[in-house]
Structure 1
Amino acid sequence: MEDSYKHKGMRRSLVRVLKEKGITNQQVLDAIGKIPRHYFFDNALVGHAYQDKAFPIGEGQTISQPYTVAFQSEKLEVQPGDKVLEVGTGSGYQASVLMEMGAEVHTIEYNKNLYERTRKFLPKMGYSPKFYFGDGSQGLPKQAPFDKIIVTAGAPSVPTALINQLKIDGILIIPVGDSQKQKMLRIIKKEDKKIKKETFDYFSFVPLLGEQGWKN
């Protein structure tokens, strides 16, 4: 795996694009500027790695558009040492960004093949989050509570299990909508029965599968 001067230059260009689109969190920009995103692509497709677009990774999944990763990461307000649950490991790129920001990442993947592939691959890049295979729509009750939760797949509604697994003042970022587009929500847990909800732009994610997601 080579990370050449050319690759680093392409990352700098990508960071400039993200700034132009409104990303201001320096931790997020630094993380995206550091992680060799082309490692997540086959050699023949490296030219796509630093374009601001999603790209298929097999199993009906995609590596998210860099702007989407940056947007969710920024809204999550990660602090070093935060215990973060990521629902939807996918390629592992989002988990890498969170770890670069200093988070302790617990990541769960519904697709067995993707789980096995990413669990073996990501540590080779130097990132070793805690990997879990299972239904992310139900969270990880045995590891709860979490400071932050990020969902990287489109949900039909906000799973109550995830809110229940947040600490007080914890933040949940989740796209909610239909199978075509979803509204990004940020939920801050104020008390056990009280939340603050903010809504942002529309995005397009693969569906969140599972008991509290879309049924497979």
Structure 2
Amino acid sequence: MNFEQARFNMIEQQIRPWDVLDSHVLQLLSVVKREDFVPLAHKALAFVDMQIPLPPHTHPSQCMLEPKVEARILQEVGVLKHETVLEIGAGSGYMAALLAHRAQRVVSLEINPELARTARGNLQRAGIYNAEVREADGAQGILAEAPFDVIVLSGSVAQVPQALLAQLKVGGRLAAIVGDDPVMRATIVTRVGDNDWRTVQPWDTLAPRLMNFPEPSPFVF
């Protein structure tokens, strides 16, 4: 398989048409080798417009999101070189790798021990040393190390968690996919003051639920 041609096709045919036009993001997608973060059994699917399951795949959230979704989240949060990023859901480590190339430091939380080990190994082999993967439940973030400049949820939630919003710096951004199948929206929340947040929902997509995040109580008459 010609990985370089497949990577070029992914960028030009999937990602650009999805309004990912930031030249820095597009360049980064050429540099970080997605195929090195995909399980061996699915390596031929590394550049396909689909979610890729990650072993042990005991929960739907154990997957890589579509390349266009990862790229557009990266564009929306606009990480800067001096910033610290918290990611919830390390998966294979690919999104942490992308974030690390743009940030000063990334901490990525992964609830599944096997995936956490895989992500650490993938990042090390890729020569990325400013991204740390911790085996932890990310639903409450890391209060002791807050505030963060950017928080990225690599999966969906029913609603934006207040516990994570409280861990943003003023000027910080949180990216999440919010809602219920069949309607979910990419949601970018910016903290504009101590008790003031601005929310935009620029596009629709679908993503599996992250584990252990609260679900609203069902409405009953």
- Per the TM superposition, whether the score is higher than 0.5 is yes
The CA deviation string for residues 116-148 of structure 1, in whole angstroms up to 9 with x for no partner, is 222233211112312222121111111111011
User: Residues of 2 paired with 1:160 and 1:130: CA distance?
Assistant: 24
Shift, 1:151, TM fit: 0.6
State the match for 1:131 in structure 2: 133
Which of the residues 141, 147, 150 maps onto 1:148?
A: 150
Deviating more after overlay: 98-107 vs 154-163: 98-107
Question: 1: CA distance between counterparts of 2:44 and 2:168?
Answer: 39
Cα distance change, pair 118–181 in 1 and its aligned pair in 2 (3 A): farther
Task: Tell me the amino acid that sits aligned with residue 194 of structure 2.
Answer: D
Conserved 8 A contact 1:82-1:102: yes
- Note if contact 1:207-1:214 (Cα within 8 Å) is conserved in structure 2: no
Aligned counterpart, 1:199: 201
Q: 2:173 matched to 1:175?
A: no
CA–CA separation in structure 2 for the residues paired with 1:214 and 1:92? 26
Displacement of 1:107 in angstroms is 0.6
SS at match of 1:99: helix
For 2:87, give the aligned amino acid.
E
Paired residue type of 2:12? R
Alignment partner, residue 57 of structure 1: 54
| Residue 19 (str. 1) matches residue 16 (str. 2) | yes
8 A contact 2:170–2:191 mirrored in 1: yes
Q: CA deviation at 1:180?
A: 5.0
* Aligned partner of residue 115 in structure 1, secondary structure: helix
Query: CA–CA distance in 2 between the matches of 1:156 and 1:141?
Result: 21
Structure 1 pair 181/39, CA: closer, same or farther in 2 (3 Å)? farther
Q: Normalization by structure 1: what TM-score?
A: 0.90
Question: Whole-Å Cα distance in 1 between the matches of residues 141 and 84 of structure 2?
Answer: 13
Q: Amino acid of the residue matched to residue 94 of structure 1?
A: M
Query: Conserved in 2, the CA contact under 8 Å of 1:11 and 1:50?
Result: yes
TM superposition score normalised by structure 2: 0.88
For residue 38 of structure 1, report the CA deviation from its aligned partner.
1.2
The answer to whether the Cα contact below 8 Å between 2:42 and 2:52 also exists between their aligned partners in 1 is: no
Q: 1:90 is matched with which residue?
A: 91
**Residue 35 of structure 1 corresponds to which residue in structure 2?**
32
Cα distance change on mapping 1:41 and 1:214 into 2, 3 Å: same
- Give CA-to-partner distance per residue, 1:170-203, whole Å, 9 cap, x none: 1111111125552111111011211111112222
Deviations 1:61-102 (A, max 9, x none): 111110000110000011112101111101111111111224
- Number of equivalent positions: 210
Partner Cα distance (1:81, 1:11) in 2: 28
Residue aligned with 2:119, SS: helix
**Superposed CA offset, 1:19-41 (max 9, x none):** 12211111211111111111123
Root-mean-square deviation over aligned CA pairs = 1.9
Give, as a single letter, the amino acid of the residue that structure 2 aligns with 1:104.
Answer: R
5+ residue gaps, structure 1, are: none
For the 8 Å contact 1:208–1:214, the answer to whether it is kept is no
Are 1:45 and 2:42 counterparts?
Answer: yes
Alignment pair present for 1:109 and 2:106: no
